[in-house]
Structure 1
């Protein structure tokens, strides 16, 4: 592996890891603060990708499609939380698993009814439909660099909100002691609806900006859900900082594992998770 090829793979691993962070950040907020095991989280990634594909084909503008699709994702999250999850907060996790698994089936079937079973793609939008010439034989997509920049900006914004705003204080307090927060006069039900809607929006947005980079196919969120649960467990449940570094670690491991040891690539992330949990059973930043 020469230096230029190593650099390309490093960038690929970073871009994939940052995209994983967008999905895992919503998952760790919902799981760590609301106590909800949301197996349908990956389906929101798929819905985001299909929404931006559909709107781009109708409107002919990728950026306008994203602007319209984000509010749709927020409303979808609000509806799911109020209609289905609101009654499960004080119940056993088994009820949550069964309900959200049922939501996977419903959302996957809705996708097939609305968009069919074909594989689709979204063209890379202007002005990022170009490549940087790294060597005579290697190029790197400008759009991938743009995705990295957007993910880093969102990571910084999420961290700032959680650590330096009143809303962030309430969210962190709710993660530690929900009854105390409610006793202080804060409407925890509204807070949970907000957190769930934002978590869904982050995941759907990850699917939207990833659409030009990958094939849009039925069930595309199922495999990434498992990877994101690994990220959350490694980073520490409820920790945004942990989700960030766990996502970067897994992104690099999957990318370099596929290149260096393709026969074991599917096992690498689970071996890393096992190693981390042996040393820190609650994750890196619990």
Structure 2
């Protein structure tokens, strides 16, 4: 009878050459990121930072006449899109680091973590708390119900929150951040549409990059499945069951439903530049009555 697979000790050693947070401050490498105080502080800092960016964006939009003339709901959605764009740029950096840099995340795909991955996970939890709070509040104010967005980001928050609580799955969590690569270009797409620039060269170039980003998302998703294949026995034996279920439910969803659908819709939008989030009828009223996810 084969001996049971033994779980190695968690890979948590700080290897300075593998950390990118030291570029911000070397002192960040000396903090104990497993404490509840540190986790809460980083999550709160991310939440407050995106909240401040949201209100700043609202103020800046009022400076431009073309944006000031928009319905308040449109300006709120645009400010949220700007926040998502900033988060997306951060995820491109952090996700690329997790995929292309060999670290503790690769030595132990279930329990491996380091300072940069811990900061990334806490930062992500803070963003999703902000995102859900902002969407729910806007739904209440504008009498809408963003069920798809709330469900999608609610599952993401639950998955990242559980990972932080159980200190597991930092590897897949950080690598999956690269899937937000489409978000900054989606943000610019929305802003250019509302500025009346849908026929400009900039909009067309941005839209082509946006469509291609969904092709690259599929490549990244295949990478996550390949990592699963390589480490299946270890994942099956040691990954906490709630995290396992959420991870592969979300991975199946984005691989076979969300990415193909969003890629198809953005390809359509390249040739038919309309905003499906707010389609207005001849009476200038909202025909869909809700916010849909702008990806």
Of the two structures, which has the highest relative contact order with CA contacts closer than 8 Å and spacing of 6 or more? 1
TM-score, normalised via structure 2 length? 0.28
* TM-score, normalised via structure 1 length: 0.29
